[in-house]
Amino acid sequence: MDDLYLPAIVVAIVLILFGFLMLLAKRYKRCPSNRVLVVYGRTREGRVAKTIHGGGTFVWPLIQDYDFLHLDPIQIEIDLKGALSMENIRVDVPSVFTVAIGTDPETMQNAAVRLLGLSADDITKQAQDIIFGQLRQVIASMKIEDINRDREKFLESIQSSLEPELEKIGLDLINVNITDLTDESGYIEAIGRKAASQAIQQAEIDVADQVKRGAIGVAEANKEKAIQVSNAVKVQEIGTKEAEKDKMVRVAQLEKEKAVGQKTAAFQQEAQIKEAERQMRIAVAEANAKAVAGENISKAEIADTNAHLRVKEAEAYQRGEARHREAEAAVREAQYLAETRAALAMAAKIEAEKRAELEAVAKAEKAKQIVQAEAQAEKTRIEAEGQAAAIFARLEAEARGNYEILAKKAEGLRRIVEGCGGSQQAFQMLMLEHLEQLAQTAATAISNIKFDKVVVWDGGANANGAPAGAAGFLQSLARSIPPMLNIMRDVGGVQMPDFFGKLVGETDGAASGTAAGPAPPAPSVPAASAATQAAKPKAGAS
């Protein structure tokens, strides 16, 4: 019986080992050269993911999973318009930026954290936002003339400002191409026109300089020619005249002069030959210039043809590369379809478990926060009620104290009025008590005033016929003195000396209070009104 089951057991063991080996082979992932392998889940390096460029690694099932980041270059067209320069001039800078995911360890980690699972359009959108901001910042730090004149410095500023920001999301800057540079105000166009005008002016100056030098050379040649011709004519005339004069006598001298004439003719012939050679050299130089110009035009046409050929080759290579990558993508999609479905099912299960756990924790935390909030509200209410009660008690005590003070003060004033026999008498008595203080205050107020002189303008009489000015003031003062004396005598019990005057109708005995008995009390209200009326003109006079 055991012999019958032994082959089946062996076959089962072989199948299990074969399946295990196939699983191991299937979970070993190799990374192509144009991608970055990202293994995420539980890693030994203490990072959120392990990134590999080239080579391969084993991906543990259940606890690890993997994905790829493409290293294909991404071209981003930036149509920047209205960027402010250092001179606050708006500039349009359309450009093309080429970026790709970096392959150094730190950049790959940043790409794994921020770009894994994103499409090329999403990556392009993130890079566009960063490029727009940094490009505006670089333009704002430079002048338009510097940007237009020193493009290399402008590109270096863009790269130094943009590369650290792109590395934060895992991208490397490969190339920057500024396609054009324009502005709304036409400043750059004006700079170009200025440069073109300066070049034209310099060319015209050079042409005029060469023309001037040629004219100077021609004039000098003509000058030499005229001098030589004039000398020859002079010698010829002298020789002819001397020959006619000494024809028969000086034969030997004529032969000598003949030799001189022959030499002069030879010299003139040599000068003509040199002039012909100079004309030939000028013609040869012009022909060489035309030949060089033709060669340059031919070279330009050849360069243009080569450029078109390179463009065609690049387009053909791009089409072939795109078809190759599409085929690879179809193969990879068919290869990883089953693994993706299993991973999605496992991820859904883990997500459901996490969601249930998080809901339980959230419900417990919510109940705890509700209890804490109710306790805090009750505590706040009790503290507010205690503070309100304390404030009410303090204000009630203050009100009672103020009420008692005012009640006692009213009781004292009532008794003073009853003791004085009326409110007017009580007022006069209180005023008499404060008379010394009022006098001291008035004296203090005018103690520091210095008068150099006092000028009194007498205005004649008032409209009712009473004297005005100083005379009116003295009469008012004289009328106010007797009522004041009566107030001081009746209220304060003070008898002033007789030289202050007496009221009309008073006797000496009545004034002294011994012969005719006590004097009848003067009415208090008129006295007070008289004192007030006396005080008013006094104030006006002063």
- In this structure, which amino acid lies at residue 326? E
SS3 461: strand
Least trusted range by pLDDT, from 26-30, 179-183, 262-266, 506-510 = 506-510
Please identify, among 67, 87, 116, the residue that sits at the C-terminal boundary of a domain: 67
Nearest to 144 by CA among 176, 193, 182: 182
Q: What percent of the chain has pLDDT over 70?
A: 77
Q: What percent of the chain has pLDDT over 90?
A: 4
Please identify, among 420, 453, 475, the residue that sits at the C-terminal boundary of a domain: 420
At residue 363, the pLDDT reads: 82
Question: Are 316 and 261 in the same domain?
Answer: yes
Once rounded to an integer, what is the mean pLDDT over residues 213-217? 85
DSSP bridge pairs for 67: 38
Owner of token pair 């004309």: 279
540, pLDDT greater than 60: no
Question: Are 62 and 80 in the same domain?
Answer: no
Question: Are 122 and 172 in the same domain?
Answer: yes
User: Angle, nearest 10°, between helix axes 251-335 and 187-245?
Assistant: 160
Question: Is 529 a member of any domain?
Answer: yes
Question: Are 101 and 43 in the same domain?
Answer: no
Query: What is d(CA 172, CA 103) in angstroms, rounded to the nearest whole number?
Result: 9
> What ranges in 120-250 are assigned the alpha helix state H?
120-140, 144-149, 151-167, 187-245
H or E element at residue 347: helix 337-420
Question: Is 353 a member of any domain?
Answer: yes
Report whether 80 contacts 94 (CB < 8 A). Answer: yes
At residue 218, the pLDDT reads: 85
Least trusted range by pLDDT, from 130-139, 154-163, 331-340, 403-412 = 331-340
At residue 534, the pLDDT reads: 37
Torsion sign over Cα 503, 506, 507, 513: negative
Question: Is 216 a member of any domain?
Answer: no
Once rounded to an integer, what is the mean pLDDT over residues 197-226? 83
Question: Are 259 and 309 in the same domain?
Answer: yes
Question: Is 12 a member of any domain?
Answer: yes
Report whether 205 contacts 199 (CB < 8 A). Answer: no
Question: Are 290 and 369 in the same domain?
Answer: no
Report whether 477 contacts 538 (CB < 8 A). Answer: yes
At residue 96, the pLDDT reads: 93
410, pLDDT greater than 80: yes
What is the 3-state composition of the chain as percent helix, strand, coil, each rounded to the nearest 5? 70, 10, 20
Least trusted range by pLDDT, from 130-134, 390-394, 436-440 = 436-440
Question: Are 98 and 175 in the same domain?
Answer: yes
Question: Is 236 a member of any domain?
Answer: no
165, pLDDT greater than 80: yes
* Domain total of the chain: 5
DSSP classification of residue 465: S
CATH code at position 115: 3.30.479.30
458, pLDDT greater than 60: no
At residue 173, the pLDDT reads: 92
- Max mean pLDDT among 278-287, 446-455, 506-515 falls in 278-287
Question: Is 96 a member of any domain?
Answer: yes
Query: What is d(CA 374, CA 366) in angstroms, rounded to the nearest whole number?
Result: 12
Strands 74-84 and 56-58: unpaired
466, pLDDT greater than 50: yes
What count of other Cβ atoms lies within 10 Å of the Cβ of residue 492? 14
Secondary structure (H, E, C), 183-194: ECCCHHHHHHHH
SS3 175: strand
Once rounded to an integer, what is the mean pLDDT over residues 515-540? 38
Question: Are 80 and 57 in the same domain?
Answer: no
At residue 537, the pLDDT reads: 37
Question: Are 428 and 523 in the same domain?
Answer: yes
pLDDT in tens, 302-356: 877 877 787 777 787 777 777 777 777 777 777 767 677 777 878 788 888 888 8
Question: Are 103 and 150 in the same domain?
Answer: yes
pLDDT in tens, 74-121: 999 988 888 888 888 888 889 999 999 988 888 888 888 888 888 888
Question: Are 269 and 299 in the same domain?
Answer: yes
Of residues 339 and 176, the one with the higher pLDDT is: 176
Question: Are 401 and 293 in the same domain?
Answer: no
Residue 428's domain comprises 423-435+466-541
22, pLDDT greater than 80: no
465, pLDDT greater than 70: no
Please identify, among 285, 313, 332, the residue that sits at the C-terminal boundary of a domain: 332
Question: Is 361 a member of any domain?
Answer: yes
78 — phi, psi (to 5°)? -110, 110
At residue 131, the pLDDT reads: 92
Question: Is 294 a member of any domain?
Answer: yes
